[in-house]
A and B are shown apart, each in its own frame.
Chain A
Amino acid sequence: MRLRPAARVFRGGADGGPEVALRARLLDPARLARYDGLALHVRRGMGDRPGERRVPGRPQPSGIELEAHSAYAPGDDLRHLDWNVLARLDALLVRRFTAERDVVAHILLDASASLAVPAGDDKLGTACELAMALACVALNAGDAVRVAVLGGDAAPNGVGRAPDDAPAAPVFRQRVSIPRVATLLAGVCPQGSDGLGAALERYTARRRAPGLALVISDFLMEPHEVERAIQALRARGYDIHLLHVLGAGELDPTRVFSRGMLVDVESGATRPIALTAATLARYQAVLAAHLDALRALAARCETSYARLVAGDDVAGLLTGALARAGLVRRR
Chain B
Amino acid sequence: MGILNPAGALSLVAIAVLLALYLFDRRRRAVPLGTLFLWQHVPAAVLQRRRFRPDALFFLQLALLLALIAGYLRPYLEDAAAPAAGAPLVVVLDVSASMQAREAGGTRFELARRRARALLDELASGDDAMLVAAAERPHVAQRWTSDRALLRARLEALEPLDTPTRLAPALELALGEARARPGTRLAVLTDLPPEETGMAPDELAAFHYIQLGATDDNLAITALTIDQPPFQTAREAAVTAIVRNFASTSRPATLEAWVGTDRWERRELVLGPRATEHVLLAHPPHGGELVVSLLVDDALAVDDRAVGWIAPGEPLDLLLVSDSRELADAFGALASALAGSRVEVVSRDRYRAEGVTGRRAALFDGFVPAELPPAVNALYVAPPAGNTICPTTRAVDGAAVIDWEPDHPALHGLQALDAIEVAHTNALEAPDWATPIVLAAARHAAFPLLVAGERDGRRIACLGAELAAPLTSSDKLPLLMLTLGTLRWLAEPFGGAALAVETGIPALAARGPTAPVQGPGGGTGLHLAGDPAVVVADRAGTYRVGPPGGERLVLANLFDERESDIGRRAAAESAPTVAPRVPDARARREIGWWMYLAATALLATEWLVWARRPAS
Assess whether B84 is interfacial by the CB under 8 Å rule: no
Q: Are B37 and A174 in contact (CB under 8 A)?
A: no
Q: Are B40 and A271 in contact (CB under 8 A)?
A: yes
For A77, list chain B residues within 8 Å (CB): 280
Main SS of chain B's interface residues?
mixed
Q: Digitize B123-153: 1 where CB-to-A-CB distance is under 8 Å, 0 elsewhere.
A: 0000000000000000000000000000000
For A6, list chain B residues within 8 Å (CB): 402-403, 439, 441, 446-447
Cross-interface CB contact of B31 among A74, A231, A247, A262, cutoff 8 Å: A262
Which residue of chain A has the shortest Cβ distance to B35 in the bound complex?
A220
Contact residues, A74-108 vs B (CB, 8 A): 74-77, 99
Assess whether B223 is interfacial by the CB under 8 Å rule: yes
Q: Are B32 and A117 in contact (CB under 8 A)?
A: yes
Q: Are B32 and A118 in contact (CB under 8 A)?
A: yes
Assess whether A296 is interfacial by the CB under 8 Å rule: no
For B274, list chain A residues within 8 Å (CB): 57
Q: Are A220 and B43 in contact (CB under 8 A)?
A: no
Q: Are B444 and A13 in contact (CB under 8 A)?
A: yes
Assess whether A31 is interfacial by the CB under 8 Å rule: no
Give the interface segment out of A37-45, A131-139, A232-240: A232-240
Bound Cα distance from A269 to B38, whole angstroms: 13
A68, A261, A278: residue with the most chain B Cβ atoms closer than 10 Å: A261
Q: Digitize B35-72: 1 where CB-to-A-CB distance is under 8 Å, 0 elsewhere.
A: 11111111111110000000000000000000000000
Q: Are B28 and A260 in contact (CB under 8 A)?
A: yes
Bound Cα distance from A7 to B107, whole angstroms: 52
Q: Digitize B197-218: 1 where CB-to-A-CB distance is under 8 Å, 0 elsewhere.
A: 1111010000000000000000
Assess whether A305 is interfacial by the CB under 8 Å rule: no
Q: Digitize A153-166: 1 where CB-to-B-CB distance is under 8 Å, 0 elsewhere.
A: 00000000000000
Q: Are B265 and A234 in contact (CB under 8 A)?
A: no
Q: Are A262 and B267 in contact (CB under 8 A)?
A: no
With both chains docked as a complex, state the minimum distance between the C-beta of A102 and any C-beta of chain B, in angstroms: 10
Q: Are B275 and A59 in contact (CB under 8 A)?
A: yes
Cross-interface CB contact of B276 among A2, A12, A59, cutoff 8 Å: A59
Cross-interface CB contact of A286 among B38, B275, B402, cutoff 8 Å: B38
Bound Cα distance from A282 to B270, whole angstroms: 65
For B39, list chain A residues within 8 Å (CB): 262, 271, 273, 283
For B402, list chain A residues within 8 Å (CB): 6, 170, 180
Indicate whether A173 sits within 8 Å of B445 (C-beta atoms), given known contacts A168-B403, A272-B24, A283-B38. Answer: no
A222, A228, A247, A270: residue with the most chain B Cβ atoms closer than 10 Å: A270
With both chains docked as a complex, state the minimum distance between the C-beta of A74 and any C-beta of chain B, in angstroms: 7
Q: Digitize B266-298: 1 where CB-to-A-CB distance is under 8 Å, 0 elsewhere.
A: 011110101111111110000000000000000
Bound Cα distance from A9 to B403, whole angstroms: 12
Q: Are A173 and B418 in contact (CB under 8 A)?
A: yes
For A118, list chain B residues within 8 Å (CB): 32-34
Q: Are A228 and B200 in contact (CB under 8 A)?
A: yes
Assess whether B437 is interfacial by the CB under 8 Å rule: yes
Q: Digitize B90-120: 1 where CB-to-A-CB distance is under 8 Å, 0 elsewhere.
A: 0000000000000000000000000000000
For B34, list chain A residues within 8 Å (CB): 113-115, 117-118, 218, 220, 247, 250, 264-266
Bound Cα distance from A1 to B402, whole angstroms: 15
Which residue of chain B has the shortest Cβ distance to A99 in the bound complex?
B276
Cross-interface CB contact of A235 among B40, B46, B47, B198, cutoff 8 Å: B198
For A11, list chain B residues within 8 Å (CB): 444
For A64, list chain B residues within 8 Å (CB): none
Assess whether B168 is interfacial by the CB under 8 Å rule: yes
Q: Are A235 and B196 in contact (CB under 8 A)?
A: yes
Q: Are B28 and A261 in contact (CB under 8 A)?
A: yes
Contact residues, B435-485 vs A (CB, 8 A): 435-437, 439, 441, 444-448
Which residue of chain B has the shortest Cβ distance to A159 in the bound complex?
B445
With both chains docked as a complex, state the minimum distance between the C-beta of A208 and any C-beta of chain B, in angstroms: 8
With both chains docked as a complex, state the minimum distance between the C-beta of A81 and any C-beta of chain B, in angstroms: 14
With both chains docked as a complex, state the minimum distance between the C-beta of A43 and any C-beta of chain B, in angstroms: 17
Q: Are A1 and B42 in contact (CB under 8 A)?
A: no
With both chains docked as a complex, state the minimum distance between the C-beta of A260 and any C-beta of chain B, in angstroms: 4
Assess whether B562 is interfacial by the CB under 8 Å rule: yes
Chain A residues bordering chain B, tally (CB within 8 A): 82
Q: Are B281 and A263 in contact (CB under 8 A)?
A: no
For A234, list chain B residues within 8 Å (CB): 195, 198
For A10, list chain B residues within 8 Å (CB): 441, 444-446
Indicate whether A73 sits within 8 Å of B33 (C-beta atoms), given known contacts A3-B436, A272-B24, A279-B43. Answer: no
Q: Are B198 and A75 in contact (CB under 8 A)?
A: no
Assess whether B569 is interfacial by the CB under 8 Å rule: no
Assess whether A5 is interfacial by the CB under 8 Å rule: yes
Contact residues, A197-224 vs B (CB, 8 A): 218, 220-222, 224
Bound Cα distance from A14 to B282, whole angstroms: 54
Cross-interface CB contact of A256 among B31, B43, B242, cutoff 8 Å: B31
Bound Cα distance from A2 to B403, whole angstroms: 12
Which residue of chain A has the shortest Cβ distance to B562 in the bound complex?
A237
Q: Digitize B485-529: 1 where CB-to-A-CB distance is under 8 Å, 0 elsewhere.
A: 000000000000000000000000000000000000000000000
A183, A227, A264, A265: residue with the most chain B Cβ atoms closer than 10 Å: A264
Q: Are A5 and B276 in contact (CB under 8 A)?
A: no
Q: Are B37 and A263 in contact (CB under 8 A)?
A: no
Bound Cα distance from A256 to B441, whole angstroms: 41
With both chains docked as a complex, state the minimum distance between the C-beta of B203 and any C-beta of chain A, in angstroms: 9
In the complex, 13 of the A-B residue pairs with CB atoms within 8 angstroms, ordered by the A residue number, are A1-B405, A9-B446, A75-B279, A75-B280, A75-B281, A235-B197, A247-B34, A256-B31, A256-B33, A260-B28, A262-B33, A265-B34, A270-B30
Mark A residues whose CB is within 8 Å of B: 1-3, 5-7, 9-14, 48-49, 57-61, 68, 70-71, 73-77, 99, 113-115, 117-119, 167-168, 170-171, 173-174, 177, 180, 183, 218, 220-222, 224, 227-228, 231-232, 234-235, 237, 247, 250, 256-257, 259-267, 269-274, 276, 278-279, 282-283, 286-287, 290
In the A-B complex, the 7 residue pairs with the smallest Cβ-Cβ separation, listed nearest first, are A114-B34, A6-B446, A235-B198, A274-B45, A260-B29, A220-B35, A264-B36
| Given A12-B445, A257-B31, A265-B34, 20 further pairs, Cβ under 8 A | A3-B439, A3-B448, A49-B415, A57-B275, A59-B277, A68-B272, A224-B200, A231-B198, A231-B200, A256-B31, A259-B45, A260-B47, A262-B31, A263-B31, A265-B32, A270-B17, A271-B36, A271-B44, A272-B44, A274-B47
